[in-house]
Chains A and B, each alone.
Chain A
């Protein structure tokens, strides 16, 4: 470090007499003309000190620096092409979340990684997003250099997982538990890191929670249980049972809820037993009607939970199919509503596509978006076509539809997009220009990106039925959507 005189005292007093008697100052004062004013003398000296200070770069001894990390291993993966790197920069500058995830998936599938110069920006984005899929997507394309770099920085360390292996090849959980990203970090960062461990080594993640669940903070443990809840298996039951006895009420409650959602768990079986005969189905004989009877022994919430804990086969073993059972619950009115709620939950927990299809076909049976991921393609086509047609009949009808498109995590099938585009091109007067534009924009990111879909957007732009003063505006919306589909189609090609 360079040491030059501090001029603060002289500056405050305004007197050259207060200047430190250093060689630089003395030399400056010696060159000042005789008879110069004190202010002039002070400025002369300050100017010379200023120039000398500028000439001597501020430095610090290398010996005082923290130890340098080991150099990064060589980059063995193929990095993104220059064109794809430009795309990545665009996403980092202005993330378009639905297409970002799709693009990151393309990159991961192509085995390409982030160029080193974009590693910090990708890490920043991964640490900042609360959107799990985006975080996993970013982490997947970090590559060797990205993982090395993240490991050097406290704020990004939780974005990389190195699994220490024991001699027998299994993950050394004690060593894993010693990772700074687990031991010494914030609850959010710990949860994010645990999420990555869970994705890479589910058994090790469970062992980690069994080992440290009692000692880590409740916020972290709740977060980690939430991670387990994203994809529960029976192997998670011991972890959840232990957490259900945790001293923290929120931890215990989260664990209990998850156990009750875990098909095959003892807790779920206990909950299922509480249903008793609260719901009975009587098969009609001859002229008698098949009907559902729901008694009021259980409150609606408890009833929904108890129904949800029972396997769906309990109901189909009556010989009725899901559609018939849903009709019976609908016919039971308010008392059937908790039963439908319970069945929706079980449909998701069991991943039962037959039931999911039946729910999608029954408009009043509950929130269809909850089972959409489980449904079969024909059922999805029928569902989207039905709700789409209904949407274009009025302004009131289109809003729920746009909301569904907004929250959809999958894609709208091609054939549905084609139908919806034809309807959208003719609906400006029915639902308004802004709503048509809204539907088109959402379809651009939710439709399956195919050449047929892209061309359908362009073709629909030619068939718009709308007053002259808004047609151009709508044409632009369709063309822009077509361009968006084109971008989604081509962005996989530029990776290499």
Chain B
């Protein structure tokens, strides 16, 4: 017998609260036929009568976790998978000695698929040949030269708000030149004309682009990791093999937050891990469907190897997991709140184009400013909290007392992701 997930764990894998609400309406034994949960292989399965003649066959591989359902929904997991998990969570799915035939058939395919992925992953990938690297460098350099010329054109006679078409064309040329990082930065240029300082702000954006483009030409001569940082911002890829080749950092890592950026297509998931011993925050970045699943749920910790990214000191790749996840039972390692400005300055020094830097701050006092916004009192100075729909929830949890806050520091202030309330990690 396997321990059912809690409803919280089920909700954590849902794409949105509406999916959970829809799933709750289906999470009743009457809705399901031939439901069962099997310990080996760990799978929950069932058939839900939908509006069609044939019931939807739903299977959840708990080891992944992974889900499949014959319903037409494009959400993963769909409401049927969530409902089945909620039903199991409520103790209403009977034990089964083996998976149903439909579940078995799907599971049979999964190892084959997983094996293919493993084989693909294990297959020695040849690093690109010097000729390939040279061709790529040449193309990128051409794109960088074009960008420099374009930037000089933009400022030579005084800046004007660029047309969206022109932005798109410039970004497209950079994509063609194999510089997707620069292309993304160009696409992110936007002008807030109601702000009277917008010309200066736009000029600074151009200036930052100009500096990274200029630095790319001298990347080999830049000190320390800065050359690798510049190449990453331009868009040169880093192979996972190269990251995994980095010496691992083994620690007990507290999973403190998962942030999904839905504005990107596909969505980008950032999982913030904090080492209990090393006291370092590292972020696992996943693009597209999240595969780490409940293995890395906020509020749990995991004994594992993380391989730091050679060109991004905040990022890592998960290596060997020595002990599976267990609930966090003590406060996470944190830096004092008053150190935030130094932490951020150090981060920008290492990577001048950094957009966000993961932080864990103890003794952080959430306060209102005179405009009604939220700030974090650093002791003498206060830094703005980037407002979101959940900001007030952090203040409600803190209750007017200093708390341990988890978030991302950005050039505009602190984006909050979770809070330690003294007993548990809360992700509003």
Contacts and interface: CB of A to CB of B under 8 A. Distances in A.
Contacts of B375: 60, 65
B203 A11 contact: yes
Contact of A11 (B29, B31, B52, B200): B200
Interface string A477-496: 00110111011001000100
B393 A59 contact: no
Interface in B183-236: 196-197, 199-200, 202-211
Contacts of B428: 117-118
Interface residues of A, number: 79
Contacts of B159: 11-12, 14
Interface string B345-362: 100110010100000000
Contact of B18 (A57, A68, A94, A482): A94
B8 A149 contact: no
A407 interface: no
Interface residues of B, number: 87
A365 interface: no
B335 interface: no
A473 B367 contact: no
Contacts of A14: 155-159
Interface stretch (B252-260, B283-291, B381-389): B381-389
B158 A11 contact: yes
B49 interface: yes
Contacts of A483: 25-28, 30-31
A475 B51 CA distance: 8
B41 interface: no
A38 B157 CA distance: 10
A480 B397 contact: no
B268 to A, nearest CB: 21
B383 A59 contact: yes
Interface string A100-119: 00000000000000011111
B324 interface: no
Contacts of B395: 120, 149
B292 interface: no
Interface in B133-162: 151-153, 155-159
Contact of A71 (B381, B390, B400): B400
A65 to B, nearest CB: 5
Given A39-B156, A45-B207, A59-B341, A118 B393 contact: yes
B344 interface: yes
A90 interface: yes
B158 A46 contact: no
A43 B397 CA distance: 45
Interface stretch (A48-56, A323-331, A414-422): A48-56
Contact of A85 (B8, B53, B89, B209): B8
Contacts of A55: 344-345, 348-349, 352
A477 to B, nearest CB: 9
A89 interface: yes
A83 interface: yes
B197 A117 contact: no
Interface stretch (B105-113, B307-315, B406-414): B406-414
A110 to B, nearest CB: 17
A139 to B, nearest CB: 15
B392 interface: yes
A87 interface: yes
A443 to B, nearest CB: 15
B400 A72 contact: yes
Interface of A, helix, strand, loop or mixed by DSSP: helix
A7 B30 contact: no
Interface in A49-99: 49-51, 53-62, 64-66, 68-72, 82-83, 85-87, 89-94
Given A11-B159, A58-B412, A120-B396, A475 B205 contact: no
Given A14-B157, A476-B51, A7 B368 contact: no
A83 B11 CA distance: 9
A472 B49 contact: yes
A121 B369 CA distance: 21
A8 interface: yes
A438 interface: no
B413 A50 contact: no
A6 interface: yes
A92 B389 CA distance: 13
Nearest to A50: B204
A262 B392 CA distance: 45
Nearest to B348: A55
A454 B208 contact: no
A13 B156 CA distance: 8
B90 interface: yes
Contacts of A59: 341, 378, 381-383
B340 interface: yes
Given A43-B151, A68-B365, A482-B30, A116 B382 contact: no
A88 to B, nearest CB: 10
Nearest to A37: B152
A401 interface: no
A457 interface: yes
B421 interface: yes
Nearest to A146: B396
Contacts of B348: 51, 54-55
B34 interface: no
Contact of A86 (B8, B206, B393, B409): B8
B27 A487 contact: yes
A90 B401 contact: no
A357 to B, nearest CB: 35
A253 interface: no
A66 B340 CA distance: 22
A446 interface: no
B381 A90 contact: no
Interface string B2-32: 0000111011000011101100111111110
A90 B427 CA distance: 16
Contact of A42 (B31, B155, B409): B155
B28 A486 contact: yes
A69 to B, nearest CB: 6
A42 B203 contact: yes
Contact of B370 (A6, A40, A64): A64
A490 B29 CA distance: 12
B136 to A, nearest CB: 25
Given A11-B158, A65-B382, A486-B28, A40 B203 contact: no
A117 B151 CA distance: 46
Contacts of B205: 50
A116 B392 CA distance: 10
Nearest to A121: B393
B345 A56 contact: yes
A172 interface: no
A40 B152 contact: yes
A47 interface: yes
Contacts of A83: 6-8, 89
A251 to B, nearest CB: 34
- The 10 A-B pairs at the shortest CB distance, nearest first, are namely A46-B207, A47-B207, A483-B28, A72-B399, A47-B211, A93-B17, A486-B28, A11-B199, A7-B200, A120-B392
6 contacts: A8-B200, A45-B207, A57-B340, A57-B344, A57-B413, A116-B396
Given A65-B370, A149-B399, 11 more contacts: A7-B203, A11-B159, A51-B211, A51-B352, A57-B409, A59-B378, A62-B381, A71-B400, A121-B393, A473-B51, A494-B90
Interface of B: 6-8, 10-11, 16-18, 20-21, 24-31, 49-53, 89-90, 151-153, 155-159, 196-197, 199-200, 202-211, 340-341, 344-345, 348-349, 352, 354, 365, 367-370, 375, 377-384, 390, 392-397, 399-401, 409, 411-413, 421, 426-428
Interface of A: 6-8, 10-14, 37-40, 42-51, 53-62, 64-66, 68-72, 82-83, 85-87, 89-94, 115-121, 145-146, 148-149, 152, 454, 457-458, 472-473, 475-476, 479-480, 482-484, 486-487, 490, 494
